[in-house]
Chains A and B, each alone.
Chain A
Amino acid sequence: MKKVLNNPLALIGFIIIAGILLLALIAPLIAPYDPDAIDVKAILLSPTSQHWMGTDGLGRDVFSRMLYGARISLMVGFVAVGIATAIGIVLGAISGFYRGWVDTVIMRIVDVMLSIPTFFLILAVIAFLTPSIWNIMIVIGLTSWMGVTRLVRAEFLSLRSREFVLAAQTLGAKDARLIFTHLLPNSLTPIIVSSILGIASAVLVESGLSFLGLGVQAPQASWGNILTDGKEYIQFAWWLSLFPGLAILITVLGYNLLGDGLRDAYNPRSSQH
C-alpha cells in the first residue's frame, strides 16, 4: 500500500474515488434539494449560489441530481463488476486448477465471447430485455467476465507449481481448501486491479448506453442520462452537460489511476529501480 501511495497519480486516484464514494453515500444529507423536485418556474437556471450546478429543463436542481446520480452510476459499476468478477473467479479457478479438457472448454468459451463485439451484444440484449437498471448491470456483468477469468487462470497455473501449494497438496489438502486458503488469497491483487479498472469501464458503458437511449431510464438520474439530457443544449445551457461530463471523466480517471498504480506497485518487474 505504501508503494501505491508513493505514486502521486495513484494517490490522486484514491482520493478521487474516496471523495466520490463519500459524496454518493451521504447524498441525502448534503443534497440541497429533492433530486426529483420539479419547479417549472425555475427552468434552465445557470449556476448560482442557490443552485450550484444550475437547474435542468424541469427546474430540478442539477447538483442534487448529480449526487443521487452518483449512487446509480457507481452502483451500476459495482454490481456489474461484482457479477463479472464472481463469474471470472469461478471459471478461472476451475480452469486453472483442474486444467485438462475443462480448461480447454472454458478457454474456448472465453475466446468466443472475446470475438463478439461486446457492446453490440450488450445493446441487443438490453434492448430485447427492455432497459432497466437491473438488466443493465446484469448484462454488463455477463459480457465482461472474460478478462478476470483469464487472469485468475493464469495466476492459478503459476501458483499451482509453487512449493507451498505442492507441499499442501502432498499433505493431503482438499481441492477446496487448496483453492480457498492458498490459491485465491494469493491471486487477490490482480483480481482487485482488474475489478477497479472494470468499474471504470462499466461507468463509461452506462453513459454510452444512455446516449443511445438504452441506459438507466428517466426519471431516475444517472450521470449518463443527465449528460445525455444536457447534450442538446451544449452551446447554451453548458452546465447541463459540463458537470455530468466532468463527473464521469474524473471518476473513470480516478479508478484508472488507482488501478494502474496498484498494478505497477505489485508488478515486480515494472516497479524495480
Chain B
Amino acid sequence: MLKYLLKRFFWMIPLLVGISLISFFIMHLAPGDITTSEASFNPKASEESRQKLRELYSLDKPVIVQYGLWLKRMATLDFGTSFASHQRPVFWQTKDKDGTVTLGMIQEALPITLLINVLSLILIIAVALPLGVISALKQNQLADRSITLFVFIGFAIPGFWLALMLMYWTGVQHNWLPISGLESIGHENMPWLSQMIDSLKHLILPVFISALTGLAGISLFVRNGMLEVLHQDYITTARSKGLNENRVVYGHALRNALLPLITIFGLSIPGLIGGSVIAESIFAIPGMGKLFYDAVLMRDFPVIMGILTIGAILTLIGNLLADIAYAWADPRVRRGVMQ
C-alpha cells in the first residue's frame, strides 16, 4: 500500500509541471504585452500595474527564466496580491506592520465553494444511487425510461434560467426561501441555531441547481455499472444457486458497481468548481467561481493564475484521495500495481 501511495504521489509531479505550463501559457495569451489590457481608464493606474506585472512575473527576463520563476512561485504558493481588489493577498492572509490581518481572497472563497460542492455531491449521491439502481433493475421499462428522461432534463436545462425561475417561485411568489446571498440581514445577531438554519436556507437553491447538472452523469453511471455487474458470471452463479435476490442485488452487485464511482467523483471536481461560476454569479455567492469571473473581467492576473493553479492542485488531491480510497476498497488494484 505504501509503495502504491508513493508511486501514485510521484505521478503528480509531471501533472503539476503540465499545469504550470498551461497557466504560464494563459498568462502570455493576451496578444502582445499582457500588461496592455487593463480594466481602468486611468493612465497612471495602468502604468503602475504594468510595472507591477513586470516585477511580479519578471516580464523583461527571457521566457525560460520567467517560467522558472513562475514555477518557484507555484511551488511556494506565492501568488502575490490582487491588482483590482486593493492589494488583497491572492491566496493566504498576510499581516501588515500594525498587525492588521488581511485575509486571502482564495482563502475566503474556497471554503464557500467547497461547502456547496460537497453538499451537492451528497445530494447527487443520495438521489442518483436509488435512481440508478431502479433504472438498472427495471431496464428498458417505464421506470427506467422515466428516470433517464428526468435526469437528462436536469442536465439539459440551462442552470441560470432554472435558477431564476426557482428564485421567483420560492422567493418572490411564496417567500419560502431567500433569493440570493449567503445570509440574511442581521445574521450575525441571531442565535447559533437560527444562524445555521438561515445559512442552510440560503444554500438550498444553489446546491439544488448545481446538483441537478451532475445528477445525470452519476445516475447513468450507477445504472450502467449495475447492469454490467448484474450480467457477470458470478452474479448469474449466485442467482442460479438460489441466493436471495435482495442479497444478490444489494450485497454483491451494488457494491461492485459502486467501486468505480469513487474515481468518478475524483474526476468530477474540476467540473463542479468550473460550474460554480454561473451558480455563484446568479445567487450572489462570493465563492471561487465568482472570484475567478471578476478577476477575468478586471484582468486581475495574479488572481486568475492563483485560482487556476489552486483549482488544479485541488483536483489532483481529489484524484489522489479517490485512487487511495479505490485501492483501499478494491485489493486487486493494490496488487496490480505491486506486481
Count chain B residues whose beta carbon lies closer than 8 angstroms to a beta carbon of A. Answer: 57
Q: Is B61 an interface residue (CB 8 A)?
A: no
Interface of A, secondary structure class, is helix
- Please determine whether A260 and B148 come into contact, CB atoms closer than 8 angstroms: yes
**A123 and B292 in contact, given A117-B311, A117-B315 (Cβ under 8 angstroms):** yes
State the CA gap A84–B315 with chains docked (Å).
22
- Kindly state whether residue A227 has any CB partner on chain B within 8 Å: yes
B158–A227 touching, CB < 8 Å: yes
Of B14-22, B98-106, B179-187, B199-207, the stretch lying at the interface with chain A is B14-22
* With A116-B270, A212-B277, A256-B216 as contacts: A245 and B158 at CB distance below 8 Å: yes
Q: In chain A, residues 145-189, which have Cβ atoms closer than 8 Å to a Cβ of chain B?
A: none
The answer on a CB contact under 8 Å between B227 and A270 is: yes
A269 contacts chain B at the CB level, 8 A cutoff:
yes
Q: Does B127 contact A (CB under 8 A)?
A: no
CA distance A238 to B270 in the complex (A): 34
- Segment of A59-67, A93-101, A125-133 in the binding face: A125-133
**Are A128 and B30 within 8 A (Cβ)?**
yes
Range for the number of chain A residues in contact with chain B: 35 or more
B312 adjacent to A116 (CB under 8 Å): yes
Stretch of A30-38, A40-48, A106-114 at the chain-chain interface: A106-114
Given A115-B316, A273-B140, decide whether A123 and B156 contact each other with a Cβ distance below 8 A: no
Complex interface: chain B residues within 8 A of A207 (CB): 158
Bound CA span A115–B270, Å:
6
Q: Is the CB of A118 within 8 A of B274?
A: yes
Q: Does A80 contact B (CB under 8 A)?
A: no
Give the segment of A18-26, A50-58, A246-254 that binds chain B: A246-254
Asked whether B308 lies within 8 Å of A121 as measured between CB atoms, the reply is yes
Contact assessment for A108 and B26 in the assembled complex, using a CB-CB cutoff below 8 Å: no
User: Could you give, for residues 175-215 of chain A, a 1 whenever the CB lies within 8 Å of some chain B CB and a 0 otherwise?
Assistant: 00000000000000000000000001000100110011000
What residues on B are CB-neighbors of A235 within 8 Å? 168, 172
Judge whether A127 and B296 touch: CB under 8 Å.
yes
Q: When the two chains form their complex, are residues A245 and B157 in contact, meaning their CB atoms are under 8 A apart?
A: yes
Q: Which residues, 227 to 252 on A, are CB-close (under 8 Å) to B?
A: 227, 231, 234-235, 241, 245, 248-252
- Give CA–CA (A132, B220) in the complex, Å: 35
Task: Decide: B29 and A200 in contact? CB cutoff 8 A.
Answer: no
- Contact string, B238-272, partner A, CB cutoff 8 A, digits 1/0? 00000000000000000000000000000100110
Residues 293-335 (chain B) with a chain A CB within 8 angstroms: 293, 296-297, 304, 307-308, 311-312, 315-316, 319
B14 / chain A contacts, CB cutoff of 8 Å: 108
A211: contacting residue among B278, B297, B311, B316, CB under 8 A = B278
Q: Which residues of B contact A (CB under 8 A)?
A: 14-15, 18-19, 21-22, 26, 29-31, 37, 139-140, 145, 148-149, 152-153, 155-161, 164-165, 168, 172, 216, 220, 224, 227-228, 231, 267, 270-271, 273-275, 277-278, 281-282, 292-293, 296-297, 304, 307-308, 311-312, 315-316, 319
